[in-house]
Chains A and B, each alone.
Chain A
Amino acid sequence: MNKKIKKDNSLIRQTRRWSPLFMWPVVAAFIIGFVWPFIQGIYLSFCKFRLIRDAEFIGVGNYATALQDASFRHAFWYSALFAIVSLVLINVLAFAVAYALTQGIRGSNLYRTVFFMPNLIGGIVLGYIWSMIFDGILSRYNTSILMESKYGFWGLIILICWQQIGYMMIIYIAGLQAVPEDMLEAAKIDGATKAQTLFKVTIPNVMPSITICTFLSLTNGFKLFDQNLALTAGQPITYVDGAMVKSTEMLALNIYSTFYNSNSVYPGVAQAKAVLFFILVAGLGLLQLSYTRKKEVQQ
């Protein structure tokens, strides 16, 4: 035992000498690409500025403005609703498809290939493809995806289902294939029906996959940007009680347009919104982490 530690130490000591090569490139890039912008971002959320170099500290004013902004609050509730609806639909459908594809039916591989394919297409492109399709259908009824918020909402739901079901399906298939054969056999011998087996044996066993997919689709739903921009960009827009509301605008897009639209007070407010957004998304991530941890302990 003692010997082993010694050996370890010598290996580690040797390796340490090479840290400039092994560690520094990543650390340097990480500081440029993440740490520094993150810290600067937090600082700027307390500043008034148009260009970063002229930032002036003003305290929490930006946060107050952000929270009073009706369009931001609307974007939050809209994103939440979207995230929950897409979460349910994506997971139910993806699980159903994955379950069907693990029943040993003919053509499983082909089907899996097809279902996963939309994942490889980028969000902007997806948005334009679907905007053409929806408008192609809706124009027959003399309307357009930009005309009603319900079209925009369900359009985006359809788009996101089309894109992400395949992804979640892959994770579920991996989970389903890991369900121990002997448990399924035992259930069969005990005379359990298919439904009983599904709910009593299969689903409890794929619980880890379900947790992962739930949180993935939840955070994906909140973070959606490209598709939102390319499909409706927030249209239709209405005035409600003296405030402007972009009815299909989600959080990420709201932050983006607050940053880059023409208005001198906005970049600081946008950065404050971004910090709030970060707290929300990170909170969901931590929730997932603690949830998975708890599950692991229980098992």
Chain B
Amino acid sequence: MKHQTLAAERRSKTILSVVLGVICVIYVLPVLAVVINSFKLNTFVKTNTFDLPSGEMWAGWDNFIKGMTFGNYPFWKSALYSVLITVFSTFLILLFTSMAAWYIARVNSRLCRLVYYLCVFSMVVPFQMVMFTLSKTADSLRLNTPWTIPIVYLGFGAGLAIFMFVGFVKSIPLEIEEAAAIDGCGPLRTFFSVVLPMLKPTLISVGILEIMWVWNDYLLPYLVLDINEYRTIPIHIQYLKGSYGTVDLGATMALILLSIIPVIVFYLLCQKHIIKGVAAGAVKG
């Protein structure tokens, strides 16, 4: 009797596994479609979307070359700026918000509470509410370059980060810091050599969320950056699709492929952290 149910359960698990496997294959099809169309001549992308780029449809690497040199703006530049902005913004957010969060959680003055509640409040404010005025403010303060736009990201992204860090700091027992203080550590050393290492899991969570946000963000850099000099990858793709006479879909797909390859590599390398980070971020947010 028991044997039978076990066998049945094993069988149903196998079926489930197969079904999910099939869904997975369907799930990656859109990405495969990008891959095959990036090697296809433009005229065939809309008509033979799901055929392999064989014979007369084959465009080779032309789409990539065209996509990377299209429209007076080299692709490598936008890729470089995307990386620069993402790395710098994430670094800035992690460093300053973790410091501020520790200060808020420990000092807990009226100002701290005010800042904290403002941060929580900012999490529910949609970007459209501030986009017009933010782009103006950012411009008049010269925050329109890849080197300065991280300040805007720090400001607009502070909410979630501070919220998550404060939640975590509050769960750390004060005794450890007190011990450090007794050993003669000033607040600065206490923070960097005692608190920060303990924050590591939250740092990773917040870092992942910020990287995903900044890397894929389109509207904020589009409105804030000096668009003629600096473009990020999403802006570049939007430009390619929306301008310069005939839209070359083959080249667009080639660029899209180039822009998602690093993301997928990054994901495969740190997927454990990413998934953990997302779970943590969501549960708290």
| Chain A residues at the B interface, C-beta cutoff of 8 Å | 7-8, 10-12, 14-19, 21-23, 25-27, 29-38, 40-41, 44, 52, 97, 100-101, 103-107, 110-125, 128-130, 132-133, 135-137, 139, 162, 167, 170-171, 173-174, 208-209, 212-213, 216, 219, 222-223, 225-226, 230, 251-252, 255-256, 259, 267, 270-271, 274-275, 277-278, 281-282, 284-286
Q: Which of B30-38, B60-68, B72-80, B196-204 forms contacts with chain A?
A: B30-38
Which residue of chain A lies nearest to B138 when distances are taken between CB atoms in the complex?
A32
Q: Are B188 and A170 in contact (CB under 8 A)?
A: no
Of B20, B106, B157, B267, the contact of A15 (CB 8 Å cutoff): B106
Given A106-B17, A124-B238, A139-B46, A226-B218 contact (CB < 8 Å)? yes
**Cα(A40)–Cα(B218), bound, Å:** 23
Instruction: Decide yes or no whether B256 CB sits under 8 A from chain A.
Output: yes
**Contact with B103, one of A10, A23, A116 (Cβ below 8 angstroms):** A23
Question: Residue-by-residue, is B148-160 near A (CB-CB < 8 Å gives 1, otherwise 0)?
Answer: 0001111111110
Alpha-carbon separation in the docked complex, A137 to B46 (Å): 9
A132 and B253 within 8 A (CB): yes
B273 within 8 A of A: no
Interface size on B, residues (CB 8 A): 102
Contact with A along B131-163 (1 / 0, CB 8 A): 111101110010100000001111111110010
Which one of B21, B33, B103, B112 contacts A133 once the chains associate, using CB atoms below 8 Å? B33
Assess the B263–A120 pair: CB atoms within 8 A.
Answer: yes
Instruction: Select from chain B the residue with minimum beta-carbon distance to A114.
Output: B24
Q: Are B126 and A278 in contact (CB under 8 A)?
A: yes
| Alpha-carbon distance A129/B254, docked complex (angstroms) | 11
B27 within 8 A of A: yes
**A14 engages B187 (CB within 8 Å):** yes
Give A137 to B32 CA distance when docked, in angstroms.
15
- Chain B at the A interface: mostly helix, strand, loop or mixed? helix
Least Cβ distance of B174 to chain A in Å?
7
The reply to whether A115 and B27 form a contact with Cβ atoms under 8 Å apart is yes
Task: Render B89-117 as a binary contact track against A, CB cut-off 8 A, 1 for contact.
Answer: 00000001101101110110101100100
| Residue pair A123, B218 in contact (C-beta under 8 Å) | yes
**Structural contact, A270 and B103, CB atoms closer than 8 A:** no
Residues in B whose Cβ lies below 8 Å from that of A281: 124-126
Asked if B49 and A26 make an inter-chain contact with CB atoms under 8 angstroms apart, the answer reads: no
Q: Which residue of B lies closest to A252 (CB)?
A: B128
Complex: chain A residue closest to B259, CB-CB: A125
Q: Is the CB of B49 within 8 A of A133?
A: yes
Cβ–Cβ contact B133 & A37, under 8 A: yes
Q: How far, in Å, is B133 (CB) from chain A's closest CB?
A: 4
Question: Are A171 and B282 closer than 8 Å at their CB atoms?
Answer: yes
Pair A11/B181 contact, Cβ less than 8 Å: yes
The answer on a CB contact under 8 Å between A132 and B37 is yes
Once bound together, how far apart are the Cα atoms of A223 and B219, in whole Å? 13
Would A29 and B30 be within 8 Å (CB), given that A114-B24, A171-B283, A281-B124 are in contact?
no
Task: Please report which residues of chain B, range 240-270, place their CB below 8 angstroms from some CB of chain A when the two chains form the complex.
Answer: 241, 249, 252-253, 256, 259-260, 263-264, 266-268
Task: Please tell me if B119 contacts chain A, counting CB pairs below 8 Å.
Answer: yes
Across the interface, B96 reaches (CB within 8 A) one of A25, A97, A105, A256, namely A25
Contacts A115-B24, A132-B49, A170-B278; is A34 near B107 (CB within 8 Å)?
no
14 contacts between A and B (CB under 8 A): A21-B188, A22-B102, A26-B158, A30-B115, A41-B130, A52-B133, A119-B278, A120-B274, A128-B256, A129-B31, A136-B46, A167-B282, A274-B126, A285-B124
Q: Which residue of A lies closest to B224 (CB)?
A: A33
- Cα separation A140 to B177 with both chains bound (whole Å): 67
Report chain B residues within 8 Å CB of A267: 132
- The answer to whether A7 touches B178, judged by C-beta atoms less than 8 angstroms apart, is yes
Closest partner residue, chain B, to A209 (CB atom): B283
Residue of A15, A26, A121, A132 near B107 (CB, 8 A) is A15
Contacts of A226 in B (CB 8 A): 218-219, 234
Complex interface: chain B residues within 8 A of A110 (CB): 24
Closest A residue to B21 by beta carbon equals A107
Determine if B172 is an interface residue (Cβ-Cβ < 8 Å): no
Q: Per a CB cutoff under 8 Å, which of A31, A34, A52, A174 touches B125?
A: A34
What residue in chain A is nearest B216 (Cβ atoms)? A122
> What are the residues of chain A within 8 A of B20 when measuring CB–CB?
97, 100-101, 105, 107, 111
